[in-house]
Structure 1
Amino acid sequence: MLRSLLEIMDRYPDLPREVILKESILLNGLSFSDSALQASYQEKAYYLFTFDPDDPEHVKGRGRVVPQEVRISGGPLGLRATVIQSRHSSRSPFRVDLEENLKLFVDGQPIADVEFVPRPSYYGQALRDGIRVEEVAPAIYWGETADVTAYRICEYWNVNQQCKFCDINENFRSWGHLRKGLGAVVPRELVADAVEVASRDPGVRRYLITGGTIRDGLKEAEFYLQYVKEVEERVSSLPARLNTQALRVEVLPRFYEAGVDYYHPNLEVWDEKLFALISPGKNLNIGRDEWIRRTVEAVKVFGVGNVSPNFVAGIEMAYSPDFPHGFRKVEEAVKSTASGIEFLMSRDVTPKFDTWGLEPRSWFGIHGVSLPPLEYYLELYRAYRDLRRKYGMPWPRGLGEAGPGVSRVPASGFMDVEF
């Protein structure tokens, strides 16, 4: 693995080494020694998806929950500080172990120093009914974002129309015990309490309201709008991010007026055929063309740089005998997604990415699909970089600063590419 990584770094001299290593870790996951987990850190919040290559029952067998994120730096490659989401994999070639200090090993060789994300100051504080604030608004982005999963399941699962990469309902079944006293719907007043407490931490710079889909779009809009209003009545100092399905254009001004600054109607995959196959609920309930139209129209409400639909980067290359539909060649997959990026950027939309994590209890995990090669992500980020320059687009606002050694986006390296 190490030799292969070094060879790829030589083949992509225009991309930071940190990006190449980060994407490889996100694809393969991380293993942790028991001694490494004796350190003090913020434990991982299983808040929306697991992202773990290991089955939840295996992960729960550990003596302690792993860190939310790690930050690697230094080592023989002289790496700049790079934040990476923890994805638990006992089979990963990447291992965090304690050798005088925490280090990242690959093929048994230390390649970087490691820090675990520190526990935020607001963790441990009790809200009403004794529920701890981190059970409602855990920190992500190295503590910069207070993340609220208001609705912890998705209704597409009820009719077998869930996105094939997604394990949200299985995640709730597996890890709901971490949020004692909380069901699938978190009370609005509890969310407002939690965000208010988190906002007192000087490291918190924004909050995110997210959750599963309610199939009736108008009901979903009203559901999430009430959360934003409840929080904004108590906390007006933090910018708000909203992650929902592509809502009807006529309801969006109400969210803007309520206090939403950044809007994420996550599209997941660009190719028309793959969108229908991978996200059947979204396709049948709204439709790809209408989803795109609503996303583009949202810029008129929230402004340039503030509408950022997510792509689950790599799912367009998903392939198995049970799913023989994904692109087989990197250049074809990148060409498809890059065409979507160009379409959106030419209309003032700034897409963003999460690197696909193959969770074993998602449809893709159950049906044994293959992950894309590392080169796919490097070619995709090159294309994104070049298109952003072509259209003079800002980075997606609401994700923090960009650049190698600066970005705190944990689940993708696309914002670590350049300043």
Structure 2
Amino acid sequence: LNTSDGTAMRTVAVDAGYGALIVAYSNECSLKDKGLDCLFCNINATKAAYGEAQGIGWKTPRQAGESVAAAYREGFDHVTVSGGFIAERRELEYYLDVAEAVREHTGLEDFNGTADIGAPLDFSVLEKYKAVGYRTIATNLEIWNEKLFGVICPGKARLCGGWRNCLAALDEELRVFGKHRVRSSLVSGIEPKASLLEGVEYLAERGVLPVLRLWNVAIGSRLEGHRTPAHDWHWDVYEKTAALYKKHGFSWEEMKSASVFTHFVPFDLFRLEAGIEAKEPAQARQTAA
């Protein structure tokens, strides 16, 4: 399927599994111009390698709205809007335009969307994300250890007010959006296990959904050539994280709405222990029929 301007919808909205979509507005981050890319990230290297050939150019709000609407007609029910830092931190304008386009084309006031944003310096903007229709919000801390955060995520440390401002932003997001409607990703494998799990517990206890992203060492990132921990290291972290979801009262439906399902093993461990069957959009349509 194509959008009205001829763009392939598969390059605008990507299937993340379990009925979730990702609209990555661009595989490009303005931190490159400042030399402040996160050390584990290869978003700008990918853009340099593939350019526009693989549909990595900017997605317009209209393209996003049309693509999400088409996917929702096929049984999808959640979308995360994400991407690199926009020059001059102009995320707000773009995210609001996307939300308005999705509402227009789906006809839904509540389209079950997540705005994945960098921690703002002005917390008053958070109310605007909610007002325009996003049900949930995400601010990705990436690294729990405060000192290591500044080393691994120099751009976030500088543009997002530092580690402590990121935590304060998550607290304000909880106030605006509510418990279990805020998520934050942590990269699993860069910092010591004890530190990582301390962060998982801190976030989960407060009602922020911690999402562990396996550190696969990315070609083109500044950490290329390093190695992620062994599989048993990660598996132990995943099991402990799934147990913390249960301990702190997360439900499967809340996790579905607040997250994007791409390689998040702890979610499946939680789901399987609870005996919940996860359905893809085609299965959901058949059940409804």
Cα 1:196–1:393, aligned 2, differ >3 Å: closer, same or farther?
closer
Which amino acid in 2 is paired with 1:373? A
Please tell me whether the aligned partners of residues 350 and 394 of structure 1 are also in contact (alpha carbons under 8 angstroms).
no
The answer on 1:285 being equivalent to 2:142 is no
Identity of paired residues, percent?
Answer: 25
Separation in 1 of the partners of 2:153 and 2:253? 23
Bigger radius of gyration: 1
Which amino acid in 2 is paired with 1:228? A
Greater relative contact order: 1 or 2 (C-alpha under 8 angstroms, separation 6 or more)?
A: 2
Separation in 2 of the partners of 1:394 and 1:215? 37
Which has a greater percent of helix?
2
Counterpart among 120, 123, 137 of residue 263 in structure 1: 137
Please tell me whether the aligned partners of residues 161 and 281 of structure 1 are also in contact (alpha carbons under 8 angstroms).
yes
Find the counterpart in structure 2 of residue 381 from structure 1: 238
Find the counterpart in structure 1 of residue 49 from structure 2: 174
Cα 1:138–1:343, aligned 2, differ >3 Å: closer, same or farther?
closer
1:235-274 matches, within 5 Å, as: 235=106, 236=108, 238-247=111-120, 248-274=122-148
Find the counterpart in structure 1 of residue 25 from structure 2: 150
1:49-198 matches, within 5 Å, as: 125-141=1-17, 144-175=19-50, 176-179=52-55, 183=57, 185-198=58-71
Which amino acid in 1 is paired with 2:4? R
Find the counterpart in structure 2 of residue 223 from structure 1: 94
Please tell me whether the aligned partners of residues 78 and 257 of structure 2 are also in contact (alpha carbons under 8 angstroms).
no
Separation in 2 of the partners of 1:166 and 1:234? 33
Separation in 2 of the partners of 1:275 and 1:347? 20
Gapped regions of structure 2 (runs ≥ 5): 275-289
What is the SS of the residue equivalent to 2:209?
Answer: coil
What count of residue pairs does the alignment treat as equivalent?
A: 266
Q: Deviations over 1:67-124 (max 9, x none)?
A: xxxxxxxxxxxxxxxxxxxxxxxxxxxxxxxxxxxxxxxxxxxxxxxxxxxxxxxxxx
Please give the TM-score of this superposition, normalised by the length of structure 1: 0.59
Separation in 2 of the partners of 1:396 and 1:307? 13
Please give the TM-score of this superposition, normalised by the length of structure 2: 0.84
Q: CA RMSD in A?
A: 2.3
Q: CA deviation at 1:383?
A: 2.7
1:252-401 matches, within 5 Å, as: 252-286=126-160, 287-316=162-191, 333-365=192-224, 368-394=225-251, 397=254, 399=256
Q: CA deviation at 1:385?
A: 3.3
Please tell me whether the aligned partners of residues 313 and 353 of structure 1 are also in contact (alpha carbons under 8 angstroms).
yes
What is the SS of the residue equivalent to 1:409?
Answer: coil
Q: CA deviation at 1:343?
A: 1.9
Please tell me whether the aligned partners of residues 351 and 396 of structure 1 are also in contact (alpha carbons under 8 angstroms).
no
Q: Deviations over 1:206-232 (max 9, x none)?
A: 112111112534x22222222112212
What is the SS of the residue equivalent to 1:242?
Answer: strand
What is the SS of the residue equivalent to 1:198?
Answer: helix
Separation in 1 of the partners of 2:88 and 2:102? 23
Cα 1:379–1:192, aligned 2, differ >3 Å: closer, same or farther?
same
Moved over 6 A (4+): none
Separation in 2 of the partners of 1:410 and 1:186? 21
Find the counterpart in structure 2 of residue 24 from structure 1: none
Separation in 2 of the partners of 1:353 and 1:396? 18
Counterpart among 50, 71, 84 of residue 212 in structure 1: 84
Separation in 1 of the partners of 2:154 and 2:62? 33
Cα 1:239–1:401, aligned 2, differ >3 Å: closer, same or farther?
closer
Separation in 2 of the partners of 1:172 and 1:399? 29
What is the SS of the residue equivalent to 1:308?
Answer: strand
